Structure 1
Amino acid sequence: MKAELYIRCSCINGEGPVWDEARQCLHFVDVFGNCIHTWENGVLSAVEVGENIGCAVPRSGGGMVAGLLSGWYAVDPASGEKRFLCDPESNPRTRCNDGKADPFGNLWIGNMSRSLDSGAGEAQPEAGLYCMNPAGQVKPMLTGLYLGNGLAWSGDGRKFYYIDTMLHNVQVFDFDPDTLTLSGGHQAFAIPTELGLPDGMTIDCEGKLWIAMFGGGAVLRFDPDTGAVLERVELPCPNVTCACFGGAGMDELFITTGTQGTDLDSYPLAGSVFRASVGVKGAPSYTFRG
């Protein structure tokens, strides 16, 4: 199937789409454009945050929590006002990347090596994945990451899928929400390099994973038990970054892309947001309850 153009824009690296069910609108970020975008009632707005941004997650008390270059901040998406919360990984060689709230209202943000942004130097496995509970307490969940990326939870929230892009696979863990611990981690399946680099990820009501393939020009639906590719959503540009479910029936896939490293004469729609009706309902964009 092919995705259709939804929002014409030119994100350097569009990322982190979040479907706001209450408002029936879409939020997403531009990592190197340093802003949070909102598409509501046919109007695209942007608020500058002043530094690179990996993700922005709605919070139940209003506003969002954003993973920025210098740490985690509470952000008012209307004014751009931000308030520092914490910096779980004060390492100048890493930055915040993909993040989400889980079904229990905890906030997760993964970090990545900044050398992968610039191409300067070899990435080291020195980044981590961190979780903040609604009380504001933060703990490391995973360490030794190169490029912390896609996150997804099973329907009951007790199985956690994670992508470190540079490993070309999907890892799966048992998650205990009462103690905020992961256990039993192992490779769920490998992803052939010819398909592209696995980036953002979401999950549908049948437990299948939808993964954006950076450099692969597609979002692929995988069976997590076998690694088989079940569906392919094609995009008219190569660097596909992330996807989330949304729409009135929660059966539409909203997909972000980027212009970075792309020949815009060949791919003029790169950096835009696309939409595909995929015939299956997916997980909502959960809210951080902090």
Structure 2
Amino acid sequence: MTPKLEMVVEAVTLGEGPHWSREEQALYFVSTYDHTIHRYHPAAGTHGRSKMSGRTAFIIPIEGRPHHFAVGVERQILEVEWDGGDGTAVIVNTVAEVDGDIPTNRLNDAKADPRGRLFVGTMGEEYAPGKFHLSRGSLYLINSDGSQRKLETNIHISNGLCWDVRNKAFYYADSFEYAIRRYDYDIETGNIANPKLIFVFKDHGLEGIPDGMTIDTEGNLWVANFDNSLILKIDPHNGALLDKIKMPALQVTSCAFGGPALRDLLVTTARVDRGAPQPPPAGCTFKLSGLGVKGGESFNVRLD
């Protein structure tokens, strides 16, 4: 089956962190370098955005608080109230701040686990186009009361994050490791253990790096292949590369399943000039339909 590709949201500089809200039937995402949060409502055909105070890493709804979101800005996780309209976001509270010992770091990717705990990662500063201070990031778990604990250190660029509860697995990508890790996952505590590389890019002749990813109900991973114009479908149980879907942008950043039945894959991209301009439609958000799979849902954050 050949998937159908559509452009659904106009270009931003660095689209990231797509989250599909089943309650609202809307897509939330950010543009990191534009310092903006975004809401796209397919049925209404609307796209709202609001400016934040710095580089913006993610936006995730807070469970039980309509129009309230956990938003990552620089090194802070903020509670933000936003109605989805242009320019209407208000900071309510600072939930947590991470990497206080490395103030040049920033948040990069985050998701809530199936119990609503926030897993959030950091990365080192970009000191030249496409060049980063390595091994300075960490992966954190943020509890509902805002307390935090480090799960991993010496991370280059924290990315990916998804869970397979049935198989007690957590999947994660440190992008400059050029691989995907599997951890044992304890849903009761949020603990992760026993990391193992289950997919190495060079073993499959792949260029670029792993970026954001999601999982379908069959347990297969869908991975954004940044700097290689691809979405990858991977079987994490045997490390097989099941499919490669060509995208019309070099910098494919992340993906999430959405739509009424969670059968559409919504893909964010970027148009960052790292020595070469990225031509249109780079930076747009796309919809892939007709994939023949159903996706796992995006979980909301639970805060006290």
Structure 2, gaps ≥5 residues long: none
- Report deviation, 1:160: 0.4
1 CA distance for matches of 2:212 and 2:160?
Answer: 4
- How many angstroms apart in 2 are the aligned matches of 1:116 and 1:5? 35
Query: How much is the aligned-residue C-alpha RMSD, in angstroms?
Result: 1.9
C-alpha distance in structure 1 between counterparts of 2:152 and 2:18, whole Å: 23
The verdict on how the C-alpha distance between 1:234 and 1:55 changes in structure 2, with shifts beyond 3 A counting, is same
Per the TM alignment, residue 212 of structure 1 is displaced from its structure 2 partner at its CA by 0.2
1:54 corresponding residue in structure 2:
57
State which of 235, 244, 264 in structure 1 corresponds to 2:256. Answer: 244
> Does the aligned pair in 2 maintain the 1:3–1:234 contact within 8 Å?
no
> How far, CA to CA, are the matches of 1:96 and 1:207 in structure 2?
27
Q: Secondary structure, in 3 states, of the residue corresponding to 2:283?
A: coil
Matched, 1:109 2:109: no
**2:151 equivalent to 1:141:** yes
Q: Equivalences for 1:215-226 in 2 at 5 Å?
A: 215-226=227-238
- TM-score after normalising by structure 1: 0.93
Find the residue that maps to 2:236 and give its secondary structure: coil
Distance 1:223 1:128 in 2: 26
Distance 2:230 2:293 in 1: 18
Distance 1:196 1:3 in 2: 24
- Greater shift, 149-158 or 212-221, is seen at 149-158
In the alignment, is the contact (CA less than 8 A) between 1:105 and 1:287 conserved in 2? yes
Which digits, 9 at most, give the CA deviation of each residue in 1:132-174, with x for residues without a partner? 1223321111111010000010043731010000001111111
Is residue 2:180 matched to residue 1:180? no
How far apart are residue 127 of structure 1 and its match?
0.9
Q: Deviations over 1:158-202 (max 9, x none)?
A: 310100000011111112233332111111121126332110010
Normalising by structure 2, what TM-score? Answer: 0.89
1:20: which partner in 2?
A: 21
Give the 3-state SS of the residue equivalent to 2:299 in structure 1. Answer: coil
For residue 45 of structure 1, what is the aligned residue in structure 2?
48
Shift of residue 71, structure 1, vs aligned partner: 1.1
How far apart, CA to CA, are the structure 1 residues paired with 2:130 and 2:269?
A: 20
Whether contact under 8 Å (2:96, 2:146) holds in the other structure is no
Contact 1:259 1:270 in 2 (8 A): yes
Which of 71, 81, 88 does residue 90 from structure 2 map onto? 81
Counterparts of 1:273 and 1:230 in 2: how far apart (Å)?
23
Percent identity reads: 30
Are positions 1:281 and 2:297 aligned together? Answer: no
Given candidates 166, 174, 182, the residue that maps to 1:164 is: 174
Partners in 1 of 2:128 and 2:298 — Cα distance?
A: 27
